[in-house]
Amino acid sequence: MNLSITIIPSKSLMVIRATLISFFTIVILGVSACSPSNQQTADLILTNAKIYTVDSMNTWAEAVAIKEGKFIYVGTEQNVGAFIGPQTKTYDLKEAMVLPGIIDAHTHPGSIAIRDNYDSTKKSGYPNMPYPASKEEILAWLENYSKKNPDLEMIVAGVWQIDTFGLTGPIKEDLDQVVPDRPVFLLDDTGHSKWVNSAFFRKFGIDKNTPDPAPGVSIFSRKPDGEPAGWLKEAAVMPWFSERDYMAPDQPQLVENLFRVLSHLSKHGVTLLYDGGNSGAEDKVYAAVKKLDDTDRLPLRYEGTYHIRLPEQVPIAISELKRLRSEYSGDRLKFNTIKIHYDGVHEVRTSAIFEPYSDDPENRGNTTFSGEVLTDFILELHEEKIDLHLHTNSDRSAHIALNAVENARNIIGKPLDTRVSTCHLELIHEDDISRFRELDVPANFTLHWNGIGYLTGWEKPIGAERAARRFSIQALIDDGATVSYSSDTTGMTRLYRTSPFFSMQVGHNRQEVGAAPDSEILPPVNERLSLEDIIHGYTKGSAYQLRYEDKLGSIEVGKIADLVILDQNLFDINRYNINEITPTAVILGGEIIQGILR
């Protein structure tokens, strides 16, 4: 056994950890590398690389050996030779940086693929309104579009900017003046609200006697007498109409759109994603993903979901997830997590917030259903070993969700057999920070939102004091919570933002990509995250959220060989050029899925 193993520790931790590392690497590699008693030979060996393993010590390695899709050796150049056999392919990476496969733990490939429909299909598609645009410009566009498409039974289009209208939102009469006879449904740019005309309400029989599907969240704006005024918040219309299901192109087109989206993610290093939901278009989207999986065109691992937006979906959610699992699962497409839209967004004033909205003092938003219902649902998920992902955008929804997890744990008397994660978390009450660690609730963040100027319309609702403490990611990391990352993107025009390297740059700088280095930094400045922490969240943290921690998330012996080979070293590159990093190759389960190795 050769113990002269050199492992290079993470730069920033080198001094502190040097002693420990030499001890641990001897132990770890002594087992895996130096005693191939069964004379294992590798299918694939990568040497002369700078491999950032994201193991528990953030060890750097020089070489890996892969057999049947798993790592059988991680360590030095010198010792990998023991795994070379006659069939082994060996590549010299010429000191390229290697990361574990990147895990995007919440995004929406189905929505992106659907929203790329435009006019390309027989149906109305998803025509693009001018953007940004005034109310008058939108109405002029609508009039023109309506005249050009006299045969359409319904006009579905987008998008209007959320802060075009005041607190009362847009009204149906404005649309009625232009299109009185056919239903009109216009989406906003957050995806959280819609603007409809009177014909739309008539078609679906929605009137002043129709209750709000989820009071405080999924609601109809109303006139004083209760009549729906024309602005629909969140999933108010979902019992009658799913715009994503309606907008979806025919299946061959959807398959190709999805392939484009997933290939983009894969080329940028994503090897596993969690689908954050499809709002009623589940079957169309998963039939298309399955088609890619069945024809060996699915370039990454894909965790599908059942998406709860309204209380009435809770009783059927587990059986629906099981149905999706049995109908669509394949080699790379799996289903183990249910998603709940547990509140809304600040922009639409539908997030459940502790203190009222700054510009709407009667309103604290709401959760989609009570904490008691959530506790009971978590207990059911525990029995089924199914996981849960909660959209908890604000401090009060996050607090209620944490309480529900705590209550469920107390009832069971031990840690739960369902993993409950939360996402967005724009605001967290300071007393709740440590509860994410204590209750084992992963916190997912979308780092490309953390620059100045990309998201609009959120400052007014929450006011300056709360705006200055959005996204307390560092506080959670410092406390020891599991933090994961995601691109949470829903439109093809924003596909470029799904690159993890785009998000890494914004999360590292808290400035938008392209902003001058001396431009304003989104406060608080101490929330500029380290690259070590960002990589950890995008690999190990996300693997943990999705319950893949034993299989994925780091480059260690026994784990599945998903990895990304970069054209530049993340730790050497200028912090304003991280976005430009492109993988030269991506390996999925030991197979080169993108790029080439020479």
- Does position 488 interact with Zn ion (CB under 5 A)? The reply is yes
Give the nearest distance from C-beta 343 to Zn ion in angstroms.
Answer: 13
User: Based on CB atoms, which residue is closest to Zn ion, 426 or 488?
Assistant: 488
User: Based on CB atoms, which residue is closest to Zn ion, 25 or 487?
Assistant: 487
How many C-beta neighbours within 10 Å does residue 207 have? 12
Q: Which residues contact 573 (CB under 8 A, 6 or more apart)?
A: 580, 581
- Does position 303 interact with Zn ion (CB under 5 A)? The reply is no
Cα separation, 453 vs 575, in Å, equals 19
Cα separation, 316 vs 387, in Å, equals 15
Q: Give exposure, 52-76, as e/b (b: 16+ Cβ within 10 Å).
A: bbbbebbbbbbbbbbbeebbbbbbb
Longest dimension (CA), the chain: 83
Give the binding range for Zn ion (CB under 5 A) out of 52-60, 271-279, 287-295, 303-311.
271-279
User: DSSP secondary-structure letter at 549?
Assistant: T
- Does position 304 interact with Zn ion (CB under 5 A)? The reply is no
Cα separation, 368 vs 350, in Å, equals 10
Give the nearest distance from C-beta 281 to Zn ion in angstroms.
Answer: 14
List Cα–Cα distances, 85 to 42, 73, 124, 562, in angstroms. 7, 14, 58, 22
Give the nearest distance from C-beta 486 to Zn ion in angstroms.
Answer: 8
**Total site size for Zn ion, rule CB under 5 A:** 2
Task: List, in sequence order, the alpha helices (H) in 131-234.
Answer: 135-148, 172-178, 198-204
Give the E-state strand segments of 386-538 in sequence order.
Answer: 387-392, 420-424, 443-445, 483-485
Give the nearest distance from C-beta 341 to Zn ion in angstroms.
Answer: 9
Single-letter code of the amino acid located at 2: N
User: Based on CB atoms, which residue is closest to Zn ion, 343 or 488?
Assistant: 488
User: Based on CB atoms, which residue is closest to Zn ion, 198 or 444?
Assistant: 444
Give the nearest distance from C-beta 385 to Zn ion in angstroms.
Answer: 24
Give the binding range for Zn ion (CB under 5 A) out of 216-224, 270-278, 460-468, 587-595.
270-278
Give the nearest distance from C-beta 446 to Zn ion in angstroms.
Answer: 8
Give the binding range for Zn ion (CB under 5 A) out of 233-241, 272-280, 330-338, 367-375.
272-280
User: Based on CB atoms, which residue is closest to Zn ion, 191 or 451?
Assistant: 191
Give the binding range for Zn ion (CB under 5 A) out of 14-22, 127-135, 276-284, 393-401.
276-284
Give the nearest distance from C-beta 342 to Zn ion in angstroms.
Answer: 12
Q: Which residues contact 482 (CB under 8 A, 6 or more apart)?
A: 436, 437, 440, 441, 442, 443, 541, 544, 545
User: Based on CB atoms, which residue is closest to Zn ion, 91 or 449?
Assistant: 449
User: Based on CB atoms, which residue is closest to Zn ion, 203 or 494?
Assistant: 494
Give the binding range for Zn ion (CB under 5 A) out of 19-27, 166-174, 274-282, 363-371.
274-282
List Cα–Cα distances, 530 to 412, 468, 504, 591, in angstroms. 38, 20, 9, 31
- Does position 527 interact with Zn ion (CB under 5 A)? The reply is no
The dihedrals phi and psi of 536, each to the nearest 5 degrees, come to: -60, -45
Minimal CB distance residue for Zn ion: 276
Among 127, 158, 249, 276, indicate the residue that binds Zn ion (CB under 5 A). 276
Q: In what order do the strands lie in the sheet with 228-233?
A: 155-160, 184-188, 193-196, 228-233, 220-222
Give the binding range for Zn ion (CB under 5 A) out of 225-233, 317-325, 379-387, 487-495.
487-495
Q: Which residues contact 386 (CB under 8 A, 6 or more apart)?
A: 318, 321, 336, 337, 338, 418
Give the nearest distance from C-beta 481 to Zn ion in angstroms.
Answer: 20
Listed residue (488, 108, 105, 487) closest to 277, CA to CA = 108
Give the nearest distance from C-beta 445 to Zn ion in angstroms.
Answer: 12
Q: Which residues bind Zn ion (CB under 5 A)?
A: 276, 488
